[in-house]
Chains A and B, each alone.
Chain A
Amino acid sequence: MSQTRIRVLVGKPGLDGHDRGAKVIARALRDAGMEVIYSGLHQTPEQIVEAAIQEDVDLIGLSIMSGAHLTIFPRVKELLKQQQAEDILLIGGGIIPEEDAESLIRDGYAEALFTPGTPTTEIVDWINDRMKLNRSKYF
Chain B
Amino acid sequence: MNGVQEWLKRLFLQDRRAVAKLISLVEDNIERHQIMRAVLPRTGNTLVTGITGPPGAGKSSLVEALTKLVREQGESVGIVAVDPTSPLTGGAILGDRIRMQSHATDRNVFIRSMGTRGHLGGMAKATADVIRIMEAGGYTTLLLETVGVGQSEIEIMHLADTVIVTLNPGTGDGIQAIKAGIMEIADIFVINKADLPGSERLKNDIEMMLGMTGQDKAWRPPVVLTSVYENRGVDQLQAEIKRHHAFLRSSGRWKIKWQEQLQREVWRHLNGQIQEQFNSLWPKLLSDAAIAEGTDPGQIAEQVWSVMMEEMKKKND
Contacts and interface: CB of A to CB of B under 8 A. Distances in A.
Judge: A and B partners, yes or no: yes
Interface in B53-88: 85-86
Contacts of A40: 95, 97-98, 101
B178 interface: no
A53 B105 contact: no
Is chain B's binding surface mostly helix, strand, loop or mixed?
A: mixed
Interface residues of A, number: 36
Contacts of A137: 24
A3 B28 contact: yes
Contacts of A30: 86, 89, 91-93
A38 B20 contact: no
A17 interface: no
A36 interface: yes
Interface string A91-112: 0000000000000000000000
A38 B91 contact: no
Interface residues of B, number: 36
A50 B105 contact: yes
A139 B94 contact: no
Contacts of B85: 35
Contact of A54 (B28, B29, B95, B110): B110
Interface in A1-26: 1-5, 7, 26
Nearest to B6: A139
Contacts of A3: 28-29, 117
A50 B3 contact: no
Nearest to A34: B91
B104 A38 contact: no
